[in-house]
Amino acid sequence: MHIPSAPVAELELLGFEEALARSGQSGGYDAGRWLYVPDFYADYRYILGTRGERPLICIGINPSTAAPDDLDNTLKSVERIALGNGFDSFIMFNVYAQRATRPEDMDREVDPRLHRENMAAFEYVLAHGGPAPAVWAAWGNLIETRGYLKDCLQDMLALGRRYGAVWYTAGARSKRGHPHHPLYLRKDSGLDPFDAAAYCERCL
């Protein structure tokens, strides 16, 4: 369980570029296998995933307690679905980077610094995701937790268009049209095309 220690505005944030440059220096995990930014446990996380040539980029709402070699059940499912659909690795990214096991514990207002650095992280992931990065929308109904998440997602869509991202979902969508969360997917779940822009207009 992770409950934020303070509002993001009160935290001293390590920017994405600096955190990426330091990644792998803290020790305690195989930096040749894992991409973990920042590479220490904090109230925020930009990226957690495995290294490969063809990653599946999974988009959740916000990070929880997972870390290299200590994946929670959601991340175990993400890795399983990625490998089961022909990808050699996965990257867990989130609409907002504030770590909280319960999204209801996230800040009520967006912190512009954290969002800006999170978008820098997303651009990095897209740039290293191949000519048509595969992005799996997997935030479930949790997208409704905070009003600012829609705006964050719109910024992600704009970046995705620049990099030719191809969006997918897995499993049935909710009654409100939101993509399925990874936690309760069947082991053999496949990926289906997802019109993320139309979803934002219709459901958010």
Phi, psi of 70 (to 5 degrees): -145, 60
**What is the rounded distance in angstroms from the CA atom of residue 48 to the CA atom of residue 198?**
28
Nearest to 114 by CA among 2, 13, 4: 13
pLDDT digits (tens, 9 = 90+) for 157-189: 999 999 999 999 999 999 999 999 999 898 889
Three-state DSSP state, 116: helix
Q: Are 101 and 2 in contact (CB under 8 A)?
A: yes
What's the pLDDT at 19? Answer: 97
**What is the rounded distance in angstroms from the CA atom of residue 129 to the CA atom of residue 124?**
9
- Can you give the pTM of this predicted structure? 0.96
Nearest to 80 by CA among 169, 190, 193: 190
pLDDT digits (tens, 9 = 90+) for 122-164: 999 999 999 999 999 999 999 999 999 999 999 999 999 999 9
pLDDT digits (tens, 9 = 90+) for 39-57: 999 999 999 999 999 999 9
Which of 59-68, 92-101, 195-204 shows the lowest mean pLDDT across its residues? 195-204
What's the pLDDT at 186? Answer: 87
Q: Is the dihedral of CA 159, 147, 185, 89 positive or negative?
A: positive
What's the pLDDT at 190? Answer: 96
* CA-to-CA dists, residue 126 to 84, 115, 164, 170, 175, angstroms: 21, 16, 9, 20, 30
What's the pLDDT at 48? Answer: 98
What's the pLDDT at 76? Answer: 96
27: confidence class by pLDDT, cuts 50, 70, 90: confident
